[in-house]
Amino acid sequence: MRMSQKTLSFLIYFFFIYAFFEGAIAELEANEINLPKTIGNWTRPDSPRVVDSKNIFDYMNGAGELYLGYRFRHLDVFDYASDNREDILVELYFMETSDDAFGLLSLDWGGEPVFFGGSPANTPNQSLISSTRALYGEGLLRMCSGNLYARVMAFRETPASKQAVLALGKAVAANGKISPEPEIFKILPLQIGSAWKLRKDRLSFFRSHLVLNSIYYLSHENILDLDLSTEVVTASYEHISSPGDRKRCRILLVKYEDHERAQKALNHFHEVYLPEHEKEFRTDSARKNMSLFKIEDGWLAYRLLSKYLAIVFECPDQESARIIIQKMNPIY
Determine the Cα–Cα distance for residues 128 and 107; give it in Å rounded to an integer: 15
Contacts by 61-66, CB closer than 8 A, 24 or more apart: 65/208, 65/210, 66/104, 66/208, 66/210, 66/211, 66/214
What percentage of the chain exceeds 70 in pLDDT? 82
> In this predicted model, what pLDDT tens digit does every residue of 210-256 receive, in sequence order?
999 999 999 999 999 999 999 999 999 998 775 566 789 999 999 99
HSE toward the beta carbon, residue 283, CA cutoff 13 A = 0
Query: From its phi and psi, is residue 139 left (phi > 0), alpha (psi between -120 and 50) or beta?
Result: left
| Residue 128, pLDDT above cutoff 80 | no
Determine the Cα–Cα distance for residues 307 and 213; give it in Å rounded to an integer: 22
Q: Which residues of 97-125 are buried (b: 16+ CB within 10 A; e: fewer)?
A: ebbbbbbbbbeebeeeebebebeebeeee
Domains of the chain: 31-173 (no CATH), 183-327 (3.40.1000)
pLDDT at 280: 64
Q: What is the mean pLDDT of residues 64-75?
A: 94
pLDDT at 116: 83
Q: Tell me the pLDDT band of 13, cut-offs 50, 70 and 90.
A: very low
Helix spans in 174-258 (H) = 209-215
Q: What is the mean pLDDT of residues 88-101?
A: 96
pLDDT higher at 164 or 31:
164
Count of beta carbons in the 10 Å neighbourhood of residue 141: 26
In whole angstroms, how far apart are CA 142 and each of 132, 136, 301?
Answer: 11, 6, 35
| Residue 49, pLDDT above cutoff 60 | yes
In the chain, the DSSP E strands lie at 38-39, 42-43, 49-52, 72-80, 88-95, 112-113, 134-137, 140-145, 148-154, 191-192, 196-206, 231-242, 245-255, 290-295, 298-305, 308-315
> In this predicted model, what pLDDT tens digit does every residue of 288-318 receive, in sequence order?
578 999 999 899 999 999 999 999 999 999 9
| Residue 162, pLDDT above cutoff 50 | yes
Q: Tell me the pLDDT band of 129, cut-offs 50, 70 and 90.
A: low
Q: Tell me the pLDDT band of 177, cut-offs 50, 70 and 90.
A: confident
Q: What is the mean pLDDT of residues 187-192?
A: 92
DSSP labels, 111-151: SEE-----BPPS-S--TTTTT--EEEETTEEEEEETTEEEE
What percentage of the chain exceeds 90 in pLDDT? 68
| Residue 10, pLDDT above cutoff 70 | no
Q: What is the mean pLDDT of residues 96-123?
A: 83
pLDDT at 180: 81
| Residue 48, pLDDT above cutoff 90 | yes
List, in sequence order, every residue forming a beta bridge with 276; answer none if it has no partner: none
| Residue 23, pLDDT above cutoff 70 | no
pLDDT at 311: 98
| Residue 43, pLDDT above cutoff 60 | yes
Across all residues in the chain, what is the average pLDDT? 84
Q: Which residues of 187-211 are buried (b: 16+ CB within 10 A; e: fewer)?
A: bbeeebeeebbbebebbbbbbbbeb
pLDDT at 39: 96
| Residue 26, pLDDT above cutoff 80 | no
| Residue 74, pLDDT above cutoff 70 | yes
Q: What is the mean pLDDT of residues 54-82?
A: 93
Q: Which residues of 232-268 are buried (b: 16+ CB within 10 A; e: fewer)?
A: bbbbbbebeeeeeeebbbbbbbbbbeeeebbeebbee
Q: What is the mean pLDDT of residues 254-272?
A: 97
| Residue 28, pLDDT above cutoff 50 | no
pLDDT at 284: 41
